[in-house]
Every structure is written in C-alpha cells, then in structure tokens.
C-alpha cells in the first residue's frame, strides 16, 4: 500500500515542479527582454512585456514539462513506489499538460502591443553597432538624430562620415538612417543586446545549444499541431516517453553526478536526433523508404522505439535502488 501511495504523489510533484519551472523560465525570458529594451519609453516597455507574456509562456511550455518530468525522477528513485504507476502517472500528467496547454495558450489572443521606438535600437552618446555600421549619435529625439558620426570599416579611406542631422526609420525589422551624405540600413537589434551576449563561457554555450534545440522543437510542435491533431499528440507522446525512459541512466552506476550528466547528454541527443531525422536525413531516407506517412513521422517513431526499449530494460533489469545498492557495495 505504501508503494502505491508513493506512486500517487508523483503527479502532484510533477505539477508543482512544472509550475515553478514555467514561472522561472518565463521570468528569465521576460527579464532578458526587459534588459534588452531598457532604453524604451516606460509605457512602450510595459506594453511590450504584457504582449510577450502569453507567447513566452507557450514557448517555455515544452521545456518546462520535460524539465519537470526529469525532476520527478529524483523523488521517484529516492522513495520507490509501484513501478507501473510510477511510470504511468507522471507520464500521463505531463502528456495532459503539454497536449492541452500548447493549443490553449496558442488560442488566447495576446494584448495589443505598441510599435518599438528607435530608442530601443540607438543610444545617444555611445559608439555602437547599428543599422549595419558603427555609429555615434550625439542626441536622439524621437525619430530625429543630431550629430551622427559613421565609421565605415569597408572604405579604403575617409572612413568617418558626419551628418549634423538625420532621420531614423523602423520597418519590418530593419533600421534605416538617412541624412546628408548618409544612407544606412541594417537589422534592428536592441542596443543593450550585446551586453547580454558578452563574456559567456562553456556552460552558457551548452545552455544556448539546449535553447536552440527547444526553439526548433517548438517550431515542430506548432507545425505538427496545424497539420494534424493526432500527429501532434503522437509527437508529444514520443517525446515525453523517450525523455522519461532516459531516467534509466540516472541510476546506471554508483556515481550519481556522472549518471545525471550522462542522462542529460542522452536527452540532448534525443533532441538532436529529432532534428536530424526531420531535416538532415529525411531526404536520403525517403529514397529508401518511399512511404510518405512513415517519413512524416519518422522522428517520432524513432523516439518512441528508443523510449520503449529503454523502458523495458529499466523494468526488467534496473530496480529503482540500483545505484544505492552499488554505493553500499551490494
């Protein structure tokens, strides 16, 4: 009876972890947006944050669900319950949150946002990369610039150009600066963005790799949901099962830290495999497997098969307290 009770508490723990992680990830994403748009007018900044809240919540949903599912593995292994319910209940809770939350958040209309102003992309009194060049702006007043100096890296001579006044315009993600003898255009990037990207080490680059994988995963889930609802549910099931079954590696040996690192690496490999089968190998494999339906769901089938194999190996050969037995020398 105690083992069943331990298994029944796992969905509640999953929901708790999910809520905390969703709040954390959303807060960090909005904080980065807040910092990158610090130069904006406060009214515009508040509207920008309000407008990004729902899309950000939807964007962090898959990462929050998967991370919460991983965290559930630790109390599950520490206080083992009925093995069937210990696997089924957290997996069912995760599937319900992802399968319901994704379309629900996508269907809610976000608040209206005001258009960004040039103050977000240009700073007065600073040398900066903007409009595809290096600029210095003495003053910025709305869409009017005064004392604009441009440094042209490509020019063989006369690299500095000066314009007493200039106009700045934002259109479709492009920042254009026009003045006397001055015509620049380039991607509109937040002026404080380089401060957020500077000085990152190996850990930050690994985190960026995970973020890129989850961004790609969000695109795949969104596309799958628009094309086929059953296909979307199948994608959610394959993804969650493969990640949860990879908890096998968390108790592979007597060294818990090494187990966790190996498990996280395997999970990162699942995301890479999903992307590789969808993009890199799809064209080549279509020549060998002419079935279009199988090719459309090849990444999900691969993850599902791997997850089922790991789950069977776990149930048959790896008790919950395996690493504890090895640590005691049993």
Average pLDDT over residues 50-56: 85
The answer to whether the pTM exceeds 0.85 is: no
Alpha-carbon torsion, ordered 308, 313, 318, 320, to 10 deg? 10
Averaged pLDDT for residues 163-182? 80
Helix 298-317 / helix 229-245 crossing angle, nearest 10 deg? 30
Distance, CA of 265 to CA of 70 (rounded, Å): 13
Q: Among 187-201, 240-254, 305-319, where is mean pLDDT lowest?
A: 187-201
Question: Which H or E run contains 195?
Answer: helix 193-197
Q: What is the DSSP letter of 124?
A: B
Residue 20: both structure tokens together: 């905390």
pLDDT at 91: 92
Average pLDDT, the chain: 79
The residue among 228 and 19 whose pLDDT is bigger is 19
- Distance between CA 25 and CA 23 in Å, rounded? 6
Contacts 24+ apart (CB under 8 A), 3-9: 3/80, 3/81, 3/82, 4/81, 4/82, 4/85, 5/81, 6/79, 6/80, 6/81, 6/82, 6/86, 7/81, 7/82, 7/84, 7/85, 7/86, 7/89, 8/81, 8/85, 8/89, 9/75, 9/81
45 vs 218, higher pLDDT: 218
- Those residues whose C-beta lies under 8 Å from the C-beta of residue 49, and which sit 6 or more positions away, are 30, 33, 34
Q: What letter would DSSP give residue 123?
A: -
Query: How confident is the model at residue 93, as a pLDDT?
Result: 94
Position 60 confidence tier, pLDDT thresholds 50, 70, 90: very high
The predicted structure's pLDDT at residue 98:
94
Q: State the helix-helix crossing angle for 42-78 and 229-245, rounded to 10 degrees.
A: 50
CB 59 within 8 A of CB 218: yes
Alpha-carbon distance of 105 to 61, in angstroms, equals: 9
Q: Which comes out higher in pLDDT, residue 70 or 81? A: 70
- pLDDT of residue 61 exceeding 60: yes
């Amino acid at each position: 009876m105690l083992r069943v009770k331990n298994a029944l508490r796992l969905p509640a723990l999953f929901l708790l972890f999910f809520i905390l992680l969703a709040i954390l990830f959303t807060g960090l994403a909005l904080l980065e947006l807040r910092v990158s748009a610090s130069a904006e007018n406060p009214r515009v900044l508040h509207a920008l944050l309000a407008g990004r809240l729902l899309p950000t919540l939807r964007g962090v949903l898959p990462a929050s669900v998967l991370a919460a599912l991983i965290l559930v593995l630790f109390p599950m292994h520490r206080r083992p319950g009925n093995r069937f319910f210990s696997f089924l209940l957290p997996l069912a809770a995760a599937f319900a949150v992802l399968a319901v939350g994704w379309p629900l958040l996508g269907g809610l209309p976000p608040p209206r946002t005001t258009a960004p102003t040039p103050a977000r992309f240009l700073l007065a009194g600073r040398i900066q990369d903007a409009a595809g060049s290096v600029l210095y702006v003495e003053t910025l007043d709305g869409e009017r610039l005064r004392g604009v100096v441009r440094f042209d890296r490509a020019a063989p001579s006369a690299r500095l150009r000066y314009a007493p006044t200039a106009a700045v315009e934002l259109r479709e993600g492009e920042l254009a600066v026009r003045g006397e003898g001055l015509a620049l255009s380039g991607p509109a990037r937040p002026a404080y963005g380089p401060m957020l990207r500077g000085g990152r080490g190996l850990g930050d680059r690994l985190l960026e790799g995970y973020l890129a994988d989850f961004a790609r995963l969000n695109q795949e889930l969104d596309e799958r949901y628009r094309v086929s609802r059953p296909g979307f549910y199948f994608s959610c099931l394959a993804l969650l099962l493969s990640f949860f079954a990879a908890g096998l590696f968390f108790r592979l040996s007597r060294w818990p830290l090494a187990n966790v690192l190996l498990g996280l690496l395997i999970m990162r490999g699942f995301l890479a495999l999903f992307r590789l089968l969808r993009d890199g190998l799809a064209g080549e494999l279509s020549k060998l497997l002419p079935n279009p339906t199988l090719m459309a769901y090849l990444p999900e089938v691969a993850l599902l098969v791997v997850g089922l194999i790991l789950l069977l190996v776990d149930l048959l050969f790896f008790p919950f307290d395996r690493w504890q037995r090895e640590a005691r020398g049993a």
